[in-house]
Amino acid sequence: MSSIIRVSGLTKTYSSGFTALQGIDLDIHRGEIFALLGPNGAGKTTLISIICGISSPSEGFVLADGFDIVKHYRAARSKIGLVPQELCSDAFEKVWSAVNFSRGLFGKPANPEYIEKLLRQLSLWDKKDAQMRELSGGMKRRVMIAKALSHEPDILFLDEPTAGVDVELRKDMWQMVRQLREQGVTIILTTHYIEEAEEMADRIGVIRQGKILLVEEKQALMDKLGSKQLSIRLQQPITTVPVELAEFNLQLEQDGNTLSYVYDSRQEGDSIARLLRQLTAQGLEIRDLNSNESSLEDIFVSLVHEKEQ
Amino acid sequence: MNLYAVWAIYKFEMARTFRTLMQSIASPVLSTSLYFIVFGTAIGSRMGDIDGVSYGAFIIPGLVMLSLLSESISNASFGIFFPKFSGTIYEVLSAPVSAMEIVIGYVGAAATKSVTLGLLILLTAQLFVDYHIQHPLWMLAFLVLTAITFSLFGFIIGIWADDFQKLQVIPLMVITPLTFLGGAFYSISMLPEPWQTLTLFNPVVYLISGFRWAFYGVADVNVAVSLGMTLVFLLICLSIVWWIFRTGYRIRT
């Protein structure tokens, strides 16, 4: 598959001496939705800022659709739309002129039909004459998306698109991202919600402390990360797990009181019901049940740990 | 050249002026009218002519310059400072625009505003004082050149400033005193030595003197020197702006 963005050996050291990116190599495929996952301060926004031209790289290069973002910044930047993480807008500007301003800024002649279609698609049409300060946070976010799409970019960056966004808007946004992908737009989003990456992405990259830890197809990563653990506390301690329970691959904790069962939360089927029936059949009485999902934090810890080994 | 972008920035900035019409246009016109009433009509009628020009007419070029300098600086500095402050600058930085296009958009709009304002003040002056412009084209040339130069200067201040206080400090503490002492209200030949010589170090003297020459054909310093100095300031500001964009100073981290 051809890549639409190619990041090579990208390093960013700020004048304070802080190194935000340490030799990033990354290829984004044409037409995919790519989720960049990482904790706060991992370098997600720095990476996006450099690709979009807001920061300058210290070392390395980036090609956007084959154009170097520094040498051929005009060609590169006109392909890219950016929705930044922070909601910022000119309070007294009207939605209609704000979006048309963006289109002009990106060197495109006015096209009121297209802007109208865009605003309708984002449910902003009835707000087109409203001033930015009159809009709710969610509406402002939509305007920022409209601004980013105003020049019909091939690549769209969404930096934390659903931070502080209510459930309804989040669903709308996911829907819109899928529509854009169908139209052939490549989308790169950053998030620290794993559900979001799971819901949207074709591929996922994990970044931490300025390094890309891994890039994988979503499915492969989910299989790795989507496990849940069920802890079963027994009335009486046991010394060994009965052979009849072998298919469940249970772990007996040291105190002999607790059995833990690891399963895939998305393909669990009836295994829990069978496990519980088997336990009763073996005469093991259950005192308590507790299930927990690996949080993103655990995932990072395990990923980073894995890398260090 | 991304002309659509230049036009977009220019239009955006001009729209800002119209939204704040009272502050951008009405208040400088009002305060200049007050000067005319106080210095031109009330006090001026008791003062003798300077270089054969009535005092009320004599102060017109100086008053226009006073507004032109402070409004050019404040318009241009606010125009670029505010996007930096609110964060909306991200869009300009990520757009396919060159430094020159950004400067033309912002500085062009600021200069347009102050030239308009200067002409409005001249019209207002007609209500109070009878005056005649000897070299209208030179008058316009000085007006436009000064507006561009000081809008560039304001643009530099707007980039340099990282809080509201810094935005105000140079116009208030440097430009206003220099203008008042730069011969806006008197001819520098009226000063005793050593002030007469010291005044020549004040760059605003050359601006006002050249501008006044365009009105009445009389000047404190040779008009060619005035024009030369104006062009020198323009070049200095252009070089600083060029340096800012080359290094990304306070714009691109």
Residue numbers of chain A with a pLDDT score lower than 50: 309
Residues B82-105, mean pLDDT to the nearest whole number? 93
Predicted pLDDT of residue A64: 96
Query: What is the CATH code of the structural domain delimited by A3-223?
Result: 3.40.50.300
Region for A204 from its dihedrals, namely left if φ exceeds 0, alpha if ψ lies in -120 to 50, beta otherwise: beta
Collapsing DSSP to helix, strand or coil, B85 comes out as helix
Start-end of CATH 3.40.50.300 domains in chain A: 3-223
Predicted pLDDT of residue A103: 97
Predicted pLDDT of residue A169: 80
What distance in Å separates the CA atoms of residue B146 and residue B131, rounded to the nearest whole number?
Answer: 22
Collapsing DSSP to helix, strand or coil, A229 comes out as strand
Q: Which helix (H) or strand (E) holds A12?
A: strand A3-13
Structural domain of residue B35, as residue ranges? Answer: 3-180+192-247
- Does B250 have pLDDT greater than 80? no
Is residue B10 a part of any domain in this protein?
yes
Which of A57-66, B23-32, B104-113 is the least confident region? B23-32
Q: Which of B14, B17, B86, B88 to mutate to test the interface with A (most CBs of A within 10 A)?
A: B88
Tens of pLDDT, residue by residue over A37-68, are: 888 888 999 999 999 999 999 999 999 999 99
Size of interface A-B (CB pairs under 8 A): 85
Q: Say how many residues make up chain B.
A: 253
Fold of A227-293: Alpha-Beta Plaits (3.30.70)
Predicted pLDDT of residue A34: 95
Predicted pLDDT of residue A299: 62
Count of domains forming chain B: 1
Tens of pLDDT, residue by residue over B51-81, are: 888 888 888 999 999 899 989 999 999 999 9
Predicted pLDDT of residue A240: 84
Is residue B43 a part of any domain in this protein?
yes
CB of A69 within 8 A of CB of A12? Answer: no
Residue B92's closest chain A neighbor by CA? A105
Residue A72's closest chain B neighbor by CA? B96
Predicted pLDDT of residue A284: 85
CB of A263 within 8 A of CB of A299? Answer: no
- Under an 8 A CB cutoff, do A53 and B94 touch? yes
Residues B145-163, mean pLDDT to the nearest whole number? 94
pTM comes to: 0.84
- Under an 8 A CB cutoff, do A74 and B19 touch? no
Start-end of CATH 3.30.70 domains in chain A: 227-293
Angle at B81 between CA A91 and CA A158, to 5 degrees: 60
Which residues are CB-neighbours of A40 under 8 A, at least 6 positions away? A192
Rounded to the nearest 5°, which phi and psi values hold at A11? -125, 140
What distance in Å separates the CA atoms of residue A158 and residue A262, rounded to the nearest whole number?
Answer: 35
| Confidence tier at B243 by pLDDT (50, 70, 90) | very high
Helices and strands per DSSP (H, E), number in chain B = 12, 0
CB of B47 within 8 A of CB of B130? Answer: no
Collapsing DSSP to helix, strand or coil, A113 comes out as helix
As for the ipTM of the complex, it is 0.88
B90: chain A residues, CB-CB within 8 Å? 54, 82, 84, 88
Predicted pLDDT of residue A91: 85
Contact of B23 with chain A, judged by CB distance below 8 Å, is answered with: no
What distance in Å separates the CA atoms of residue B31 and residue B41, rounded to the nearest whole number?
Answer: 15
Tens of pLDDT, residue by residue over B214-236, are: 999 888 889 999 999 999 999 99
- Under an 8 A CB cutoff, do A84 and B5 touch? no
- Under an 8 A CB cutoff, do A52 and B94 touch? yes
Predicted pLDDT of residue A266: 65
Predicted pLDDT of residue A295: 53
Is residue B186 a part of any domain in this protein?
no
Predicted pLDDT of residue A32: 94
What distance in Å separates the CA atoms of residue A135 and residue A20, rounded to the nearest whole number?
Answer: 34
